[in-house]
Amino acid sequence: MSDEKKPVEKAACVIAWPAGHSRSPLIHNYWAQKYNLNVEYRREAVPPEQLTDFVTHLRERGYVGCNVTVPHKEKVLALSEPDERARAVGAANCLWYDGDTLRSTNTDVAGFLANLDAVTPGWDRGLESAVVVGAGGGARAVIFGLLQRDVRRVYVINRTLERAQALTKKFGSRVIAAGWDETTGLLGGAGLLVNTTTLGMVGQPPLPINLRCQASLVVADLVYAPLVTPLLAMAREKGLRSADGLGMLLHQAVLGFERWFGVKPEVTAELRALVETDLLAGAPKPPVSPVKVKPAPTPKPRKPRNNRPA
């Protein structure tokens, strides 16, 4: 019997610059092994000036599709046929072939909603208002998902009010721009708070927010490094239900794997534990405070002995 490894039947990849931080290979290759598929998922570090050539020759490079992350999510819209989600969010993170057509979508929307459904079931039942902090790509994906779930009012809080106001123009009157000074008041009547900024991420300051809210408030954070951000720690101390960024990362990967390899994978506790371990292994170690050594006491001068004869 030959010990030669069979050639991979299908391959997909993540395109990023740089690409070393991505946990997507860990997730997708775990599923490939679990479902006994002869497929492979790789990292591709693609600098911005090479993006067009790489994406337009994706099939020739041996790929049936790919994930796209920073800084390429917006640029790939013009290199593919985006669906409604990708156009609304203004960014795509998943590409696949439909015949000879390279299509794209934004799986962050589905990942955000699926994670909330899994860990905080019923979160959207009768939800009147939500507060979204931030106005970037993550915020756009979250807002699109919330509007799909018929949330009546979505307040967008951003330090630069003009960016929040731009989302009102993009998504309509159900999205309302608000300033930082309005946060506490809005949280008093909100059913959901979502942080889409990098505040609370490793190396960043915490989100400066006061959780003066109803006991029913659900708190979600898109940050997954650290696993428990200061915002989530605060929410848990108050007994609030919460959803972390790692859950969203895992759930957003499901759609791509199914598109490329024909199997809908399951997000399990085993997979989460695997990625958690990897994240913790790569987390920066806390600084070690130097041990302060107490100086030795200065010996007291000895009195000269009296050598006079008695």
Active site residue ranges: 73
Secondary structure of 35-90 in HEC code, one letter for each residue: CCCCEEEEEEECCHHHHHHHHHCCCCCCCCEEEECCCCCCHHHHHCEECHHHHHHC
Q: Using CA atoms, how far apart are residues 147 and 134, in angstroms rounded to an integer?
A: 17
Lookup: tokens for 101:
């057509």
Lookup: tokens for 7:
């050639």
